[in-house]
């Protein structure tokens, strides 16, 4: 298996607007990368520089508010699925120390139809009214790119190109602006506390808008951590645990983390905005028959996307175990 020193870069236009040869080459390169390391960097994804800047500006304005104001938008009964989630509330699976971050959850906009009627309402801060427009615009743009990525994945898996369309369109996805907040005195936080401990994502795929500082790393198959870097016009797209389950570990949900900066830089902020692309809750995650054979027996029990999400939320500090 090829060991990458950096994650591969691909052009989504090759898939959406290219020749049949370019489209086929994109599908193969994507599948090879997801088999080997689980991450790629993509350009021509639809997000403009203006969309990105508007969202980041709104996000920075929100996180600059005092803690008491931010906590008005933290609703414990929503199990962290909408609105603000405070500092140190989330931890990686298998850990109890909270990550050094705070974040805000924006979910699928409700449109009054059968698909979205049971989703939770979004929460919008009165103090930063521009967050609503910027957040919904980015959400819908990234979701569109995610659906194209899933079409390429479907072809790689030998499925019909539209296999994921109804399962993931208007899915239970989350846009998560994250603030890795400054630490003025590193001695005051737990010794093992990090910005984001090593973990795999819960969802089908994650599309990351970028980050304002270094620190994101992926665990390669040989156990070496390598930095994830992308150009300003790229987003990073990785395999999540749901897609790993569906493909019986053919496509790999790769462990990744956000490490702390050098001690002298702990007093600086870092921002990033991942889009966790979830399917609709009733999607069946039973391993695909064509991903199971004598050499690769079935690794996972049958479960729906909604059932798996609730299990994982409990493991990272939300919901009921």
pLDDT tens figures, 271-300: 999 999 999 999 999 999 999 999 999 999
Give the number of domains in the chain.
1
Domain assignment present for 175: yes
Tens digits of residue pLDDT in 198-242: 877 889 999 998 765 578 888 888 888 888 877 888 999 999 999
Going by C-alpha positions, the residue among 65, 44, 45, 39 that lies closest to residue 240 is 39
Domain assignment present for 29: no
How distant is the alpha carbon of residue 239 from its chain centre?
9
Three-class HEC string of the chain:
CCCCCCCCEEEHHHHHCCCHHHHHHHHHHHHHHHHHCCEEEEECCCCCHHHHHHHHHHHHHHHCCCHHHHHHHCCHHHCCCCEEECCCCCCCCCCCCCCCCEEEEEECCCCCCCCCCCCCCCCCCCCCCHHHHHHHHHHHHHHHHHHHHHHHHHHHCCCCCCCCHHHHCCCCCEECCEEECCCCCHHHCCCCCCCEEEECCCCCEEEEEEECCCCEEEECCCCCEEECCCCCCEEEEEECHHHHHHCCCCCCCCCEEECCCCHHHCCCCEEEEEEEECCCCCCECCCCHHHCCCCCCCCCCCCEHHHHHHHHHHHCCCCCC
Domain assignment present for 128: yes
Domain assignment present for 223: yes
Mean pLDDT of the chain: 88
User: Where does the pLDDT of residue 317 fall: very low under 50, low under 70, confident under 90, or very high at 90 and above?
Assistant: low
Higher pLDDT, 220 or 93: 220
What is the domain extent for residue 58? 39-142+170-315
The pLDDT score that the predictor gives to residue 94 is 61
Helix axes 49-63, 130-156, angle to 10 degrees: 120
The pLDDT score that the predictor gives to residue 238 is 92
Tens digits of residue pLDDT in 11-50: 999 999 999 999 999 999 999 999 888 889 999 999 999 9
The pLDDT score that the predictor gives to residue 93 is 65
The pLDDT score that the predictor gives to residue 42 is 95
Does residue 319 carry a pLDDT above 60?
A: no
Domain assignment present for 2: no
CATH number, residue 242: 2.60.120.330
Tens digits of residue pLDDT in 66-78: 999 999 999 988 8
Domain assignment present for 235: yes
End-to-end CA distance of the chain: 38
Domain assignment present for 116: yes
Query: Whole-prediction pTM value?
Result: 0.90
Q: How many CB atoms lie under 10 A from the CB of residue 316?
A: 18
């Amino acid at each position: 298996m090829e060991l990458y020193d950096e994650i591969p870069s691909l052009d989504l236009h090759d898939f959406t607007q290219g020749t049949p040869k370019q489209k086929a080459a994109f599908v193969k390169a994507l599948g090879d990368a997801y088999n080997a390391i689980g991450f790629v960097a993509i350009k021509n994804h639809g997000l403009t520089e203006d969309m990105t800047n508007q969202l980041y500006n709104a996000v920075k304005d929100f996180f600059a508010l005092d803690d008491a104001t931010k906590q008005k938008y933290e609703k414990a009964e929503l199990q962290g699925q909408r609105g603000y989630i405070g500092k140190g509330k989330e931890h990686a699976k298998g850990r109890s120390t909270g990550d050094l971050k705070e974040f805000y959850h924006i979910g699928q906009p409700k449109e009054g139809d059968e698909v979205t009627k049971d989703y939770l309402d979004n929460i919008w801060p009165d103090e930063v009214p521009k967050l609503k427009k910027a957040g919904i615009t980015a959400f819908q743009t990234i979701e569109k790119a995610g659906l194209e990525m899933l079409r390429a994945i479907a072809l790689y898996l030998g499925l019909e190109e539209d296999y994921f369309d109804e399962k993931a369109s208007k899915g239970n996805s989350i846009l998560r602006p994250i603030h890795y907040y400054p630490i003025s005195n590193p001695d005051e936080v737990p010794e093992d506390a990090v910005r984001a401990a090593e973990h795999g994502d819960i969802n089908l795929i994650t599309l990351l808008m970028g980050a304002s500082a270094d620190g994101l790393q992926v665990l390669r198959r040989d156990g070496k951590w390598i930095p994830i870097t992308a150009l300003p016009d790229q987003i990073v797209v990785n395999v999540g645990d749901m897609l790993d389950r569906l493909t019986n570990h053919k496509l790999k949900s790769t462990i990744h983390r956000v490490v702390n900066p050098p001690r002298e830089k702990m007093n600086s902020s870092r921002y990033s905005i991942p889009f966790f692309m979830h399917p609709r809750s009733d999607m069946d995650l039973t391993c695909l028959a064509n991903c199971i054979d004598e050499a690769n027996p079935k690794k996972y029990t049958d479960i729906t996307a909604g059932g798996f999400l609730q299990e994982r939320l409990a493991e990272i500090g939300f919901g009921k175990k």
